[in-house]
Amino acid sequence: MDVLSSSPVTLWADFEAPQGLVIPDVGSVTYSLFDGTGAPLLVAQELTPEAEATGVSIPIHAIHQIIDPERSFERRQVVVSWLAAGRSYQKRLAYRVVELPIHTVTPADVRTYLGINEDELRDDEVDLFAATLMLQGALGRERFEAALTSGTLLEIRATRAIVLSAAQLLFPSLRFRIAQAKSDGTLKFERLKDTTAFEGLVAATMDELVRITGELGYVAPDVGPPPLILLGTITTDPITGNAPADRVGG
CATH of residue 88's domain is 2.60.40
Half-sphere exposure of 155 (CA within 13 A, CB side): 10
Same domain, 213 and 171: yes
Spatial separation of the C-alpha atoms in residues 189 and 176, rounded to whole Å? 11
Which residues have a Cβ under 8 Å from the Cβ of 27 and sit 6 or more positions away?
Answer: 46
Residues in the chain: 250
Q: Which helix (H) or strand (E) holds 41?
A: strand 40-46
Same domain, 35 and 123: no
Q: What is the pTM of this model?
A: 0.78
Domain that holds residue 29: 2-98
CA distances to 22, 23, 28, 119, 197 from 18, in Å: 10, 13, 18, 28, 41
Same domain, 123 and 226: yes
Same domain, 226 and 133: yes
Q: What is the pLDDT of residue 223?
A: 55
Q: What is the pLDDT of residue 110?
A: 96
The answer to whether residue 250 sits within a structural domain is: no
Question: For the chain, how many structural domains are there in total?
Answer: 2
Q: What is the pLDDT of residue 181?
A: 75
Q: What is the pLDDT of residue 246?
A: 38
Q: What is the pLDDT of residue 230?
A: 45
Q: What is the pLDDT of residue 231?
A: 46
Q: Decide which of 41, 63, 98 is a domain's last residue.
A: 98
The answer to whether residue 121 sits within a structural domain is: yes
Low pLDDT (below 70) residues in the chain: 184-187, 191, 193, 220-250
Q: What is the pLDDT of residue 127?
A: 94
The answer to whether residue 175 sits within a structural domain is: yes
The answer to whether residue 140 sits within a structural domain is: yes
Same domain, 167 and 195: yes
